[in-house]
Amino acid sequence: MKKSILAITCLLFINSFAQKKPNNFSYLSDIDKSIQVDLRYLGTNNFIGKPINGYHSNCVIMTKKTAIALREIQHKIQKDNLSLKVFDAYRPQEAVNHFVAWSKITEDTLQKQEYYPKISKQHLFREGYIATKSGHSRGSTIDVTLVDTKTGKELDMGSNYDFFGEESNTYYKNITSAQKKNRFLLRKIMIDNGFKPYNKEWWHFTLLNEPYKNRYFNFSVE
| Residue 13 domain-assigned (yes or no) | no
What CATH number does residue 153 fall under? 3.30.1380.10
What is the CB neighbour count within 10 angstroms for residue 64?
Answer: 18
**What's the domain range around 58?**
23-207
Answer for the pair 135, 81: CB distance below 8 angstroms, yes or no: no
pLDDT at 211 over 70: yes
pLDDT-based confidence at residue 1 (cuts at 50, 70, 90): very low
Inside any domain, residue 31:
yes
Task: Give domain status of residue 222, yes or no.
Answer: no
Residue type, 72: E
Among 158, 126, 163, 113, residue whose Cα is nearest residue 143: 163
What is the pTM assigned to this prediction? 0.90
Distance CA 108, CA 46 (A): 14
Tell me, yes or no, whether 10 lies in a domain: no
Task: Specify if 216 maps to a domain.
Answer: no
pLDDT at position 125 is 86
Are the C-beta atoms of 184 and 107 separated by less than 8 Å?
A: no
* The pLDDT value given to residue 7: 36
**3: pLDDT strictly greater than 80:** no
Write the DSSP symbol of residue 49.
S
Average pLDDT, the chain: 92
Tally the domains of the chain: 1
Question: What is d(CA 54, CA 74) in angstroms, rounded to the nearest whole number?
Answer: 27
Helix ranges, 23-79 (H): 28-31, 64-77
* Per-residue model confidence (pLDDT) at position 87: 98
Task: Look at residue 11 in the predicted model and tell me its pLDDT.
Answer: 35
Q: What angle do CA 189, 89, 182 make, to 5 degrees?
A: 30
For residues 171-204, one letter each, b for 16 or more C-beta atoms within 10 angstroms of the residue's C-beta and e for the rest, the string is: ebeeeeeebbebbebbbebbeebbbebbebbbbb
Would you tell me the crossing angle of helices 64-77 and 177-192 to the nearest 10 degrees?
Answer: 130
Q: Is residue 14 part of a domain?
A: no
Q: Does residue 8 surpass a pLDDT of 70?
A: no
N- to C-terminal Cα distance for the chain?
Answer: 37
Residue 159 has pLDDT above 70, yes or no: yes
**Residue 94 annotated among the catalytic residues of the structure:** no
For the ranges 57-66, 74-83, 120-129, which has the lowest average pLDDT?
120-129
Cα within 13 Å of Cα(184), Cβ side: 10
CB 193 within 8 A of CB 27: no
Residue 182 lies in a domain: yes
166, 201, 210, 222: the active-site residue: 201
pLDDT at 113 over 60: yes
Q: Is residue 89 part of a domain?
A: yes
